[in-house]
Amino acid sequence: MSKIIQIVGALILVVGLSGCSADNEDLQQWMADQRRQTTPKVTPLTEPTRYVPLAYAGGTSADAFSSERLTQVLRRESGPLSVSAALVAPELNRRKEPLEAFPLDSMTMVGSLDRAGQKVALVRVDNLLHQVRPGNYLGQNYGRVTRITESEVMLREIVQDAAGEWIERSTALQLQEKTK
């Protein structure tokens, strides 16, 4: 019985495969006609614009990254010195302090001291402890320390609003108690 099943299976396989070798000449003819009738449409590329580099004039021109140049551009764009530009202009002309390189949210106030009648805040940045006094600058938004208490450092920051105008805002760095 199993011999008969194997023979019947082989016959079905042979008949099935013989159907695959049927003449496909009409299909081949149709494919050739389609290839002849179809022409590719390629849009030509436009000529790229030529880049002409400017020669570097060394010390004869102003430094492109100087704060004075940025101030000049701000004055030119705003016309007469507006209240907005007047806020940021003095900040651009002064030398930056080391703690202005770090964002305010990466700083933590860990304590305060009273040195010669003046409050001094202890601020941790990158696991280093810094002493901060009123008048020092913190953060990347021109944040100037206005007042120090036992529990916070009050700052006046200059930031741009949604319209691009410079505005002042008050913010505080709160004392962070260590939790274990």
- Answer yes or no: are the C-beta atoms of 130 and 122 closer than 8 Å: yes
Q: What pLDDT was estimated at residue 78?
A: 60
Q: Which of 131, 139, 128 is nearest to 105 (CA)?
A: 139
Please check whether residue 42 lies inside any domain of the structure.
no
Q: What pLDDT was estimated at residue 41?
A: 85
Q: What pLDDT was estimated at residue 6?
A: 84
**How would you write the pLDDT of the chain (180 residues) with one tens digit per residue?**
778 888 888 778 776 666 665 567 888 899 999 988 888 888 898 998 898 887 777 666 667 777 777 777 766 666 554 567 777 888 888 899 999 999 999 999 999 999 888 999 999 999 999 999 999 999 999 999 999 999 999 999 998 887 778 889 999 999 887 655
Last residue of a domain, one of 53, 71, 94: 94
- Answer yes or no: are the C-beta atoms of 124 and 108 closer than 8 Å: yes
For residues 107 and 73, membership in a common domain is answered with no
Total domains in the chain come to 2
Q: What pLDDT was estimated at residue 128?
A: 93
Q: Which domain holds residue 84?
A: 63-94
